[in-house]
Amino acid sequence: MDINPFIQTAFGAIVGGGVVVATNWLNTTREKRKEVQEWYEQRYVTEGLDRLLAYFTNLALRFLGSPNHETILLPDATVPVEALTRIEVLLDVSGGMEFLSIFIAQIHESLASSGEYQDIAVIPLFRLCETLYQLRQEVLNLIPSEVSRKNQKLNLTQFRDSIVLLVDTFVKEADALNRKNQQIKHILETGSAAT
């Protein structure tokens, strides 16, 4: 009895089975990675950055005046707290997004004010929108090549640092303007009390 045909058949079956298993494993891995990338984009871009961009664009439109210098009236947009949290996770900010919350509060205060407060708020608000848009583009570019699991960390430190610096500068300018106006108010009050 010749065992050679049996060995050839068994070897062919084992190799063929191995190829099928490997192909199925690669397809499953590829599909899983694609699902994770879609989840990542949905979570951080669609439900995070896009919502923040829409919110900040709404705020920016409030600063744009009409031809007769009246502020455009838009319905109040709810602060997207969940989106803020998602951006905190995306940017790997520990301790919270207090700086963006402070920025939002001071922007609203500037909207309620007039003149100088609105003037110092417009440029940082537009820069923040521009930075968030660039962050959005960078994340969309990085997802296909770098995201393979849901807890994937992307290197976005330049965006985090840029946003922190922008907000910090705005807060300092607003505080300085606030102190200046309080000093003027104090001088006017003490001057009118003396007369």
- Confidence band for 74, pLDDT divided at 50, 70 and 90: low
Q: What is the mean pLDDT of the chain?
A: 81
Span 128-176, pLDDT tens digits? 899 999 999 999 999 999 998 888 889 998 998 888 888 888 888 878 8
Q: How far apart are CA 146 and CA 36, in angstroms?
A: 11
Q: Once rounded to an integer, what is the mean pLDDT over residues 181-186?
A: 81
What is the pLDDT, as a whole number, of residue 13?
A: 79
pTM: 0.75
Helices and strands per DSSP (H, E), number in the chain: 6, 0
pLDDT at 29 over 90: no
Q: Once rounded to an integer, what is the mean pLDDT over residues 26-31?
A: 80
pLDDT at 96 over 80: no
Span 111-138, pLDDT tens digits? 667 667 777 777 888 888 999 999 999 9
Share of the chain above pLDDT 90, in %: 21
Q: How far apart are CA 153 and CA 19, in angstroms?
A: 33
What is the pLDDT, as a whole number, of residue 73?
A: 58
Measure the CA dihedral 116/159/105/44, to 10°: 140
Q: How far apart are CA 132 and CA 12, in angstroms?
A: 56
Structural contact between residues 71 and 65, judged by C-beta atoms closer than 8 angstroms: yes
